[in-house]
Structures are given as C-alpha cells and as structure tokens.
Amino acid sequence: MMGKKPGIDFTCYTAGLCEVQLPPDIEYSRMMAEELGLDLKVKSIGLDEVETYLKEVVPLVEDTNVPKVGVALTMYAACVAAKEDGIRAMFSGSGADEVFAGYDRHKRSTDISRDCYADVLKIYEKNTYRDDVVSMNNNIELRVPYLDKRFVDYSLKIPPEYKINDEQNKLILRLLADELGIPAQVSQRKKQAAQYGSRFDKAIGKLAKKAGCKTKTDYLKQFYNQPNLKLGVLFSSGKDSNYAMHIMQQQNYSIECLITIKSQNLDSYMFHTPNIDLARLQAEAMGMPLIEELTMGEKEKELDDMKNAIIRAKNEYGIEGIVTGALYSNYQRERIEKVCDELGLKAFSPLWHIDQEKEMHQLLDIGFEFIFSSVAAYGLDKSWVGRIIGEKDIEKLVKLNEKIGLNVAGEGGEFESFVTDGPMYHKKIEIREMEVIERDEYTAKVVITNAVLVDKE
C-alpha cells in the first residue's frame, strides 16, 4: 500500500493449498487486492505438489521443525511464482512481529520492550536465515524494511501500550492501516501464522498421515535425515527442564547430554536446589550422560561455574546449543543467552511465555509424572509435597490463581518439582523414603532419602 502511493509498479504474491477449501491468506489477499487495486498473483498448489516442494525446502532450511518448514514452504511457493515472472527482488514483512509484539506469547509478557528486543536479536536464527535461503534458491533477493536498523531502533522505543493489549497485537500497525484506508476486515484480522493461513501445515499433516507416520516431524525426517542440532540441557530435575528437553527431542534435535548445576546456596537466583543430587538418577533413567558442576551460588559468580560446565559439554559432546526450561524469568534467560553467545552456542527456551495452565495439563497428557518437592505460597501447605500431582491438583491451582494470583506453573517460586517419570524415561523413579520438613503453615519441602529405578509397566 505504501509503495502504491508514489506510483511504484509492483506485484503481490500469495500461496496456499487449495484442494478443498480456499486458504484464509488467499481469501484476504484477494479482498485486499480488489479493494486497493493491487496486482495479485496467487500460487495455488495441490497436496502432491506440496510433497514435491518439501523435497526442496526441508534440505534448504536444514531443519525438520514443523512450524519452520510450514513458513518456509509458504515463502518458497510464492518465490517460485515470482521467479516465473522474472522477479529479482521481493519485499517481506518479516520483523513486524518482533518489533511490534505480534506473537501470542507477548500477551503474557511482563516486559514487552525487553522481549521485543530479545526477539530482534534472535530473528536471524529463527526467521531471516530461513527466508533468505528459500528466496535465494529462486534467485530472488529479499528486502525486509521492518528490519532497517533505524526503523528497529525507533520502533523498539515505542511504548508497549501502542503495540499490544488483551485483545489485539501490533496495534500501531493496525491504526496506520486504518488511516491508509485498508478494509477493517483485513486491518483488524487476528494474527494467523503463515503455515496456518496458507493451510500448508494441514497439508503436512495429511501427508504424514498418508505416509503412516506418527508425527509431522517423523514425516519430514525423510527429506532431511539428520538431527537439527546437537544440544545440551540445563537440567534441574524439575518439570520445566524435563518438558523443554522433550519438546526439542520431538522437533528432531539431538540431546547429547544433561548439565546440572549443584548450588550450595538454597536461595540461588539461577538454579533449582531441592533434591538436585537425584538428577543423576533421572539421567540414568533416560540413558543420558550427565555433567555436574558445583557452585557456591554467589550471585553472578555462579554464572562462571555454569559457563565452565557448558564448556565441558561443548568439548566432550560437541553440543551446538543449550536448552533451558525458562518460562518467564528474564533474569535467568538473559544470563544463559549471554553465556551461550560468548561460547558461540544457540540458546533454546521452548517454554518461554507458554500459557502456564496449558503447560501443566500438557505435562500430564503426554505422560509426565512429578511431585512438588517444595511449596512456599499462601494456599499451599505440606499436604502438597511428596505426592504425585494430578488433574484435580491443577484445577485447585487454577482456582488459587483466580483467587490470590498464584502462578499455576510455580514460576513465581510458589513450588518446586521433581520428575519421577516421562515419555523419554526408560525406567521410572520410585521414591521409597522421604522426609517432609514443614517450616510454617505455607512453607514445606520434601527431602528424598531413598529412590530407585524400577521397570515401567
């Protein structure tokens, strides 16, 4: 639309799966083009053609991550159409979500500006590298105006209230679109990721089912039969680091080792401490090597100990990145990312700003079993520690959240957890003896004194 005002001649391209139903992206693109008098080319492909494209796209992006491939497929199909027309340069809206808080997780952020900045710093490994290899494979140079340095610098300084609220994201762009005369059904449309708006994600699902694969990732592995990267996991023995590890394994990343930092400071800002010695038993249950590092737990100095452990993992197991179970703690995530940057490693936080209630339910749905190893919050008492957490417990936590603002996933320090079983565990941990220590009415912990591995049923 901005290019139309000075009379620049350009063509818009969109792509999607059109076998059964018109994809939303094509529907809205046509509406927009007709309303504003834009030249639009639609690349409509069928299911068989999707598989042909996947044979090109997956090796190009060197990844079997389903969302990443779905977006790459959309970009690739549009670039194929543009190449056929002799186009040599294309504009992309990449970067708008990062600088203007366009992701759903931003609605759960406690510091929008900081998270937008972090997203911009990581956009190369998450988005722009993918888009660049796909476009260049079609001899097309991609231009990304939202990532102009001066524009990013200015946009990151815009107050969060102009970017997002409970109902909508990228607010300032929507207001600008209204001023430019873009139809409200387009300018106010809820964000939908490219892989869904094009229906290519659904296409991958259909092809996976047709091929008899259990998951979309399993299906995509036939086109790139290598792990995405070798990773180490900052492993605390709790639910979050376990779940983060599982997610990365499901996305075809190779977990080479676990890294556990054993802090002598029970109130460490960085590291989980309850029953941390049993991380070794969990590693044995999963058949994973474990690197342990002792730290006195002095604030900031403990990062040097973590760095030493990560260096050992890099040297001994050739890891290329680190997985963390961070949910909302910028303090933890930023320090881990800084250490990774210094060591030339990538940092992955797959649970970052995930809905807390959703996370708790998903843990149980996929077969995790865990206890609360400590509690420290109004509404919780010693009856919560040492027993397996179930669906009814999660419902109680949700009600406590509604009543007093308790974090359902314990991100505010309300509780710590210990995992006894999970989908990647070959054996289960059976707790045979433990001691419950009650400090006051709302503070208690369990010290596991005897635990063994047993066969899973």
pLDDT in tens, 442-454: 999 999 999 999 9
Question: Which residue, 408, 64, 116, is CA-closest to 252?
Answer: 64
145-159, 175-189, 418-432: least confident range = 175-189
The DSSP H or E segment spanning 207 is helix 200-210
Distance, first Cα to last Cα, the chain:
61
- Distance CA(362)–CA(395), nearest Å, equals 13
Q: Collect contacts of 400-408 with beta carbons under 8 A, ≥24 apart.
A: 401/357, 403/379, 404/378, 404/379, 406/377, 406/378, 406/379, 406/380, 407/356, 408/356, 408/357, 408/360
The DSSP H or E segment spanning 204 is helix 200-210
- Distance CA(197)–CA(32), nearest Å, equals 15
pLDDT in tens, 359-381: 999 999 999 999 999 999 999 99
Q: How many CA atoms lie within 13 A of 381 on its CB side?
A: 4
- Distance CA(323)–CA(340), nearest Å, equals 10
Given the DSSP bridges, would you call strands 443-455 and 369-376 parallel, antiparallel or unpaired?
Answer: antiparallel
pLDDT in tens, 170-216: 999 999 988 888 888 888 888 889 999 999 999 999 999 999 999 99
Q: Mean pLDDT, to the nearest integer, of 94-102?
A: 95
Q: Running DSSP on this structure, what letter comes out for residue 258? A: E
Banded pLDDT at 413 (limits 50, 70, 90):
confident
